[in-house]
Amino acid sequence: MWQKYKIEIFYSEEDEGFIAIAPELPGCSAFGETPEEALKEIKTAIELWLEAARKEGREIPEPKKVAMKV
């Protein structure tokens, strides 16, 4: 289900690596030494975030639809 959520990846000078976040899921983030590694890690983090929210009965935000420009 991670495919439906927006993912942002940026370089962090402080951490000397790439941070990936899922802005629609509060606190859901991951780190990687490369953008590809950060992407792989955030996919896992999103799945774990959703699993924990379901178990705890927390509300799961609906993915926002993003229009793509071509």
Chain mean position to CA 38: 9
Stated pTM of the model: 0.85
CA distances to 3, 13, 45, 55 from 50, rounded to whole Å, are 12, 29, 9, 9
Residue matched to tokens 């951490």: 15
Find, among 58, 62, 49, 57, the residue nearest to 21 by Cα.
49
First to last CA, the chain: 25
Q: pLDDT tens for residues 3-58?
A: 789 999 999 999 999 999 999 999 999 999 999 999 999 999 999 999 999 999 99
Query: Which secondary structure element, helix H or strand E, spans residue 33, and what is its range?
Result: none
